[in-house]
Structure 1
């Protein structure tokens, strides 16, 4: 693959973002359209090149050269209803009490896989897919704006792989992972609350004297508005994945697959906008100085969770096949997200998560209508990693969900086929009672000290289309 085309593929992947990931946490849940048709239950089927993601050992079953390119569209619907969000002063945040347009109407994520049989024992392959993503954009005057106004996470994983088959019953697979991640986050800055708190504490007079001394107009404090902060960063991280497949008979196989954790150091910048806080630029400058917020570098260190999957596949007869997958995810890797501001006197901004490990269970089936058409179906239950309402942040209003999927494979020619898939995901209501444990004006930490209370209700549809070709 030439560097020119590889660059175009990466650009296409980064232009696609999931809206609140379809698997738990920030993980994007569909890396293969054929797999989506069974609710991702077919990890041991190894029927096409997308086995590179599910289990690289499955490449040992593929003949010749195979390529698979697909795209999955995510069509979400989500609403938020406020239930009493407050400032750090424990007064109401005001703002919009409901939200129903903070998710995109639709987004799409591509995938690409290629395998080539080297000889009777070795097969090589390459995969490209979107592992993580989210895209939420709330109104800047919603009730929870001091926790978040917007977040966007995009990523792409490049996964060269090999498989080794010593005999007809065993196969082993190994892959390297180069993962690019880019993120941005915005939130309101509670300047009105800070001014009110200074007046209540008796320090308001000193602020007024400072404004007058600078030639500003203190009267504009009567209509002070929010500031806004933006943080962004990007990074490459590297990991690996392993797979093993046991094939006791031609019709039965079992697989185990592992994907490692990947460390990221997202480096970028933080910007603080106080230009619209009042109509007086001199007052705005004084208020920003009092907040201790300055434009600076930004750094977020994190580790993505590793996964371990066990799966099985059995061909019952010429028409029916059944399959299952159980995937354990070490989401406890994702504890607090600490946003650092190197080179400044500001302490970290901490988004508390303290996630728990999760298990996803999926069951699926294939039905061969005739030599050209195979129908698929599956159902899955996926746990959310969030421990409690007090740890559910607006950046990821996640909840347990059930996925129901249908799919089909249509053989167009002896060497080519098309996969179609549709999935419906129903999320449990997600209630938040999250309090930021910092407050404005402190040097030891950064935060608004807000409490976000409310409930998110979400469901979404996934529509997938892919093309397969065998050389």
Structure 2
């Protein structure tokens, strides 16, 4: 594949991916349509090329050359109701107290897998899928705007893999991961609260004198409005994944798979917009200077969590098969998100997370209706990594969720088939009372000092379609 076409594929994938995360944390929950049909319980089934993601050791079971291309459409619905959000002055933030359109109406995420049997012992493969994603866009005048107005995370993972089968009972797999991640975040800047606090404390005289000296009109402060900050960055990171599969009989398989943590240094820029704070540009310039915020380079360092999955598959008879998957995610890798403003006197902006490790449990079944149609179903429970209401930030109002899935595989010809899948995910209501531990005007840190109180309610649907071909 030429670099030109590879770049076009990555660009197309990233442009399609902008979705509230469907699995725990920011992890996107469906990397395979066939897997989605069993609520991702089929890690040990290893029946198509998507085993590149689930367990690379499973490639050893596949004959010839196989390709699988799919897309998953996500249809989310979320609401937020405010329960007393406040500024750093502990007065109300004002603004809209409810939100019901801050997630996309529908978005789609692609996946592509290929495997090729090299000889009786070796099989090679390649995967391209979406590991993480979120896209929230609140109204700029909602009650929690000082915590967040918008966030978008897009990613793509390129995963070349190899499998080795020393005998009929054991196989091993290794994959390399090149992961591209791009993120942007915006939030309001509490200029009205800063002006009001200075006036109440009797310390606004210096700012008034600066406004007059600059030729501005102090009366403009009577109708001061919010500023806005935006940060973006991108990076490539690298990791590995490993797999092992034990096959005591042709009907029974057990697998264990590991995906490593990947370190990212998202580099980009920060923009502070004070142009609409008042109608007087000179007043706006003075207020921005007093805030100590300047446009600059920005850096966010993070490490994605590693995962370990244990799964099993058993074919009971020529009609029925059952399967399970238990996945541990080390979300404790994601403690805090520190946004650094390079080359400035401003301290970091810290989004506290302090996540806990989580466990996802899934059960699934296949039913062979006839020689052309295989039906699938699955149920899963996934923990949220958030420790408490005080650590639930508007960027990820996550909660424990239950997933119910149905799917089918239709064999179109002896060499080709189509997979369909539908999932419904119901999230527990998520109450938050997150307080930013900085406040405007400080140099040691950056933040609005706001408290965002309210409850998020979310459910979403996934519809997947993929095409498989065997050469």
Tell me the equivalent position of 1:397. 397
Displacement of 1:204: 1.1
Cα separation, 2, equivalents of 1:52 and 1:35: 12
Does residue 335 in structure 1 map to residue 335 in structure 2? yes
Displacement of 1:3: 2.4
CA contact 1:340–1:348 (8 Å) conserved in 2: yes
Tell me the equivalent position of 2:128. 128
Tell me the equivalent position of 1:312. 312
Tell me the equivalent position of 1:280. 280
1:15-30 equivalent positions in 2, closer than 5 A: 15-30=15-30
**Per-residue Cα deviation, 1:84-118 (whole angstroms, up to 9, x for no partner):** 00000000000000000000000000000000000
**Per-residue Cα deviation, 1:66-98 (whole angstroms, up to 9, x for no partner):** 000000000000000000000000000000000
Tell me the equivalent position of 2:59. 59
Tell me the equivalent position of 1:74. 74
Cα separation, 1, equivalents of 2:310 and 2:348: 39
Is the partner of 1:49 in helix, strand or coil? Answer: coil
1:239-388 equivalent positions in 2, closer than 5 A: 239-388=239-388
Tell me the equivalent position of 1:50. 50
Is the partner of 1:167 in helix, strand or coil? Answer: coil
Tell me the equivalent position of 1:432. 432
What RMSD in Å do the two structures reach over aligned CA positions? 0.5
Number of aligned residue pairs: 471
CA contact 2:73–2:109 (8 Å) conserved in 1: yes
Displacement of 1:21: 0.6
Tell me the equivalent position of 2:217. 217
Cα separation, 2, equivalents of 1:11 and 1:341: 28
Is the partner of 1:31 in helix, strand or coil? Answer: coil
Tell me the equivalent position of 1:199. 199
Displacement of 1:18: 4.4
Cα separation, 2, equivalents of 1:2 and 1:173: 26
Cα separation, 2, equivalents of 1:455 and 1:331: 23
Tell me the equivalent position of 1:184. 184
Misfit runs of 4+, over 3 Å: none
Is the partner of 2:48 in helix, strand or coil? Answer: coil
**Per-residue Cα deviation, 1:9-59 (whole angstroms, up to 9, x for no partner):** 211210122422100000000000000000000000000000000000000
Is the partner of 1:287 in helix, strand or coil? Answer: helix
Cα separation, 2, equivalents of 1:12 and 1:398: 28
Displacement of 1:6: 1.6
TM-score by length of 2: 1.00
Tell me the equivalent position of 1:157. 157
CA contact 1:430–1:457 (8 Å) conserved in 2: yes
Structure 1: gaps (5+ residues): none
Cα separation, 2, equivalents of 1:163 and 1:126: 11
TM-score by length of 1: 1.00
